[in-house]
């Protein structure tokens, strides 16, 4: 069992409030709640009720077991979806955990038709490298994360 498997029971209680704040910042700035959306590294996806057409993917089955949302087991580095199959791809505080963030970002860009929104933990050791690779069109600086947006053209 990996780290997230071991904390899956208490995850929502431990991180729920903080994560909800981040999602609300995203929704206040970008009109994405009614879009066809994929959430990469969705965890328990406790915030899925804020979206009309939500799909989540995560590689930790214990986190997914805690979820009541439309979620699937899979890897961010190899998304099992066709090109442009979601309007919006979201990833909340997860990209710094991915084994290969470059592959994962490439995959997110591939399956999105309109926009990719990645919320990146500012204290991550990989912050600068991930930001440079993602190369955001827009960003919102929040207390804990930098929210980065790429518009797909």
Interface positions with ligand SAM (CB under 6 A): 4, 15, 19, 41-43, 58-60, 63, 75-77, 92-94, 97-99
Burial level of 72, CB count in 10 A (0-12/13-18/19+)? middle
Residue 19 vs 55, nearer CB to ligand SAM: 19
Q: Are 99 and 84 in contact (CB under 8 A)?
A: no
Angle (nearest 5°) at CA 29 between 143 and 74: 80
Runs of H (alpha helix) within 66-116: 101-111
As measured in angstroms, the least distance from the Cβ of 39 to ligand SAM is: 7
Residue 22 vs 35, nearer CB to ligand SAM: 22
Residue 43 vs 136, nearer CB to ligand SAM: 43
Residue 35 vs 59, nearer CB to ligand SAM: 59
Distance, CA of 76 to CA of 42 (rounded, Å): 10
Tokens of 36: 């066809």
Residue showing the smallest CB distance to ligand SAM in the complex: 43
As measured in angstroms, the least distance from the Cβ of 76 to ligand SAM is: 4
């Amino acid at each position: 069992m990996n780290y997230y498997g071991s904390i899956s029971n208490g995850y929502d209680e431990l991180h729920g409030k903080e994560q909800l704040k981040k999602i609300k910042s995203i929704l206040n700035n970008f009109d994405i709640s009614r879009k066809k959306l994929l959430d990469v590294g969705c965890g328990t996806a406790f915030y899925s009720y804020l979206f009309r057409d939500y799909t989540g993917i995560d590689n930790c089955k214990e986190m997914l077991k805690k979820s009541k949302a439309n979620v699937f087991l899979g890897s961010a580095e190899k998304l099992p979806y066709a090109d442009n199959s979601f309007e919006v791809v979201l990833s909340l505080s997860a990209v710094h955990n991915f084994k290969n963030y470059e592959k994962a970002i490439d995959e997110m860009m591939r399956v999105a038709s309109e926009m990719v929104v990645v919320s990146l933990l500012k204290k991550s050791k990989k912050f600068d490298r991930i930001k440079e690779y993602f190369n955001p069109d827009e960003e919102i600086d929040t207390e804990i994360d930098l929210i980065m947006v790429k518009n797909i053209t």
